């Protein structure tokens, strides 16, 4: 068995196993471990994205193997685990001659006629993926928000499906049409919406969308529709944080002043009480009246008890 990616999460080494000839149950176990720890991995991490992509491809190819003999042009759908609800995967096997004559039209994609594979292959397999609920977990575009699931397709040489040799497409200048159905794109957001294409190496390409819910490409890949994040909302949120932080500082400053005032009043009360507790008498020195403390003396007594 071979493992194509290795990464460490919180001190635990995770192997993403991708050997097609390996035991399928062990392979699923490895991938479940990757999914379990994936919240600790950023959504743009190529290890997690590629692991999911290749895992779904493996399921598609296994489904194709189990449906021998093949029917050219038939779409096969593998059964996915329960935790992948909302995700769809399909695979179709075509002859390159058919792709040249009429193209291919399946799910959300339309590949035009007069398309050839590079390098040339007599038979090809197209794997379609719709990441559904998992889209925002594995894909993100800085400064933009995904408003459609990420969908994609990859082309493989079907002569030896175990090799999983990827192919490129040459459409001779004509675009591959990608249609997004049931998107949440309102009329007000059409002018702001853009198409985004995710490449396997982690880079992305953003382009203008000329027709609502329709994007174009020259190559296989993964695609979605995005809109810029609401700048007014971000400004309002920043303004709220500034006001809140300033209010906390003001409250703290007022509290410190109040404590100082209370402490000063307490000291004044203590001094006043000390002054009131001190009783002084008055004496005349010349023509001036001055305070004098009361003096108490013990009268002397003789030893015989008599008075002086």
Average pLDDT of adjacent 10-residue blocks, the chain of 308 residues: 36 38 48 42 50 85 77 83 86 92 91 94 93 88 92 91 88 94 67 89 88 91 91 59 80 86 82 62 66 60 56
275 Cβ contact list (under 8 Å, min separation 6): none
Would you say how long the chain is, in residues?
308
pLDDT at res. 184 = 65
> Can you tell me which residue has the tokens 């982690």?
202
CA–CA distance, 39 with 45 (Å, rounded to integer): 11
| Reported pTM | 0.60
Quote the pLDDT of residue 243: 80
Judging by beta carbons within 10 Å of its beta carbon (0-12, 13-18, 19+), is residue 244 exposed, middle or buried? exposed
Q: What is the pLDDT of residue 289?
A: 63
3-state secondary structure of 205: strand
pLDDT at 303: 61
Instruction: Point out which residues pair with 14 in neighbouring strands.
Output: 7
Nearest Cα to Cα of residue 61 among 83, 93, 30: 93
Q: pLDDT at position 265, please?
A: 83
Q: 234 forms bridges with which residues in the sheet?
A: none
């Amino acid at each position: 068995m071979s493992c194509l990616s290795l990464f460490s999460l919180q001190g635990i080494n995770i192997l993403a196993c991708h050997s097609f000839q390996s035991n399928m149950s062990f392979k699923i176990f490895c991938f479940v471990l990757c999914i379990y720890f994936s919240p600790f991995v950023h959504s743009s991490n190529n290890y997690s994205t590629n692991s999911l992509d290749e895992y779904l491809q493996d399921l598609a190819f296994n489904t194709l193997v189990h449906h021998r003999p093949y029917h050219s042009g038939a779409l096969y759908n593998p059964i996915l685990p329960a935790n992948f609800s909302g995700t769809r995967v399909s695979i179709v096997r075509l002859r390159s001659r058919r792709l040249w004559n009429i193209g291919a039209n399946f799910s959300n994609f339309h590949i035009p006629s007069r398309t050839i594979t590079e390098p040339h292959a007599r038979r090809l397999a197209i794997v379609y993926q719709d990441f559904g609920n998992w889209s925002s977990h594995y894909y993100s575009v800085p400064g933009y928000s995904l408003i459609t699931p990420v969908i994609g397709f990859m082309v493989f040489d079907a002569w030896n499906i175990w090799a999983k040799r990827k192919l490129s497409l040459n459409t001779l200048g004509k675009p591959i049409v990608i249609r997004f159905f049931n998107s949440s794109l309102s009329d007000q957001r059409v002018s702001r919406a853009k198409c985004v294409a995710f490449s396997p190496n982690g880079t992305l390409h953003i382009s203008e969308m000329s027709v609502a819910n329709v994007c174009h490409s020259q190559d296989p890949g993964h695609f979605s529709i995005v809109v810029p994040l609401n700048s007014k909302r971000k400004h309002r949120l920043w303004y709220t944080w500034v006001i809140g932080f300033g209010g906390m500082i003001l409250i703290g400053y007022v509290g410190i002043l109040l404590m100082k005032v209370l402490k000063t009043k307490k000291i004044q009360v203590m001094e006043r009480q000390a002054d009131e507790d001190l009783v002084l008498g008055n004496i005349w020195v010349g023509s001036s009246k001055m305070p004098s403390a009361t003096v108490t003396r013990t009268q002397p007594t003789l030893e015989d008890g008599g008075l002086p």
